[in-house]
DNA sequence: TCAATGATTAGC
DNA sequence: CTAATCATTGAT
């Protein structure tokens, strides 16, 4: 199961290229010397300053500075006053872009415990203290590459959720047949809850 | 000082 | 679908 930590070069590409490639990768958090929390990334969204849905679209400021910074670092911000959202900065410095982590499947903890950006940040204890922290090694949070059974994940590409500007752009991806995404696309018949889960029709159980 | 606004969530 | 929630932001 152990796979290598994704290197900075992985993130030095446009967000819309990184986002689908993060699906199936493993988010790892070391909470104490022998306490590791891990889960499969099953849902992401891409943002970049060329489109108006991005926090860096209008101007560079103290609140979005991290998004303009070094790729491979976390961009964490407060949402609706009460939640946190976790992004990974992508592309190149001085160009605002990143990938929002929207849902992770955590086999050890059961059903839909990190299905949504606010729940994900809460489950992994990622708050504003983690803004600017690198996920490419040397810290208590990182992302490992895809395990072999998720080498070629089946993806669904849809519009992003919860935004008012740029809502028509197809910049959200999720693992097809995942039970742990925050919301499935219209027309996707994949069961989202265990009670309607039928093993025979699923490729992955994440 | 105050009203408006969310890259949300829970609940019907 | 709507209500609840509250830090941040920009306008009085």
Residues 52-81 of A with CB under 7 A from strand C: 61-63, 78, 80-81
Nucleotide whose C1' lies closest to the alpha carbon of residue A59: C9
**pTM beyond cutoff 0.85:** yes
Residue A193 contacts strand B, CB under 7 A? no
Q: Which of A126, A114, A185 is nearest to A155 (CA)?
A: A185
Of chain A, the end-to-end C-alpha distance in Å amounts to 15
* A69's tokens: 């910074």
Position A17 scores a pLDDT of: 97
Neighbours of A104 (CB within 10 A): 26
- Report, in ranges, which bases of strand B sit under 7 Å from a protein C-beta: 6-10
Nucleotide whose C1' lies closest to the alpha carbon of residue A54: B7
CA distance A60 to A128: 18
Residue A186 contacts strand C, CB under 7 A? no
Task: Calculate Rg over the CA atoms of chain A.
Answer: 16
Helix (H, G, I), strand (E, B) or coil at A138: coil
CA atoms within 13 Å, Cβ hemisphere of A14 = 7
Helix (H, G, I), strand (E, B) or coil at A70: coil
Given a contact cutoff of 8 angstroms between Cβ atoms, the answer to whether A193 and A178 are in contact is no
A89-147 pLDDT tens trace: 999 999 999 999 999 999 999 889 999 999 999 999 999 999 999 999 999 999 999 99
pLDDT higher than threshold 60 for residue A192? no
Q: Which of A40, A185, A164 is nearest to A103 (CA)?
A: A40
* A149's tokens: 């059974």
Position A24 scores a pLDDT of: 97
């Amino acid at each position: 199961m152990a796979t290598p930590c994704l290197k900075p070069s992985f993130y030095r590409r446009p967000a819309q290229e990184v986002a689908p490639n993060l699906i199936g990768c493993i988010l790892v958090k070391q909470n104490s010397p022998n306490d590791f929390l891990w889960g499969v990334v099953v849902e992401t969204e891409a943002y970049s300053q060329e489109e108006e849905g991005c926090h860096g679209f209008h101007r560079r400021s103290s609140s979005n500075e991290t998004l303009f910074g070094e790729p491979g670092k976390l961009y964490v911000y407060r949402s609706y006053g009460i939640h946190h959202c976790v992004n990974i900065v992508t592309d190149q410095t001085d160009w605002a872009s990143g990938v929002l982590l929207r849902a992770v499947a955590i086999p050890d903890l059961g059903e839909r415990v990190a299905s949504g950006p606010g729940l994900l940040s809460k489950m992994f204890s990622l708050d504003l203290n983690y803004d600017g922290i690198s996920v490419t090694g040397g810290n208590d949070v990182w992302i490992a590459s895809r395990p072999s059974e998720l080498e070629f994940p089946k993806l669904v590409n849809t519009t992003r959720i919860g935004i008012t500007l740029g809502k028509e752009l197809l910049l959200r991806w999720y693992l097809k047949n995942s039970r742990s995404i925050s919301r499935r696309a219209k027309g996707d018949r994949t069961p989202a809850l265990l009670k309607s889960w039928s093993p025979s029709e699923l490729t992955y159980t994440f």
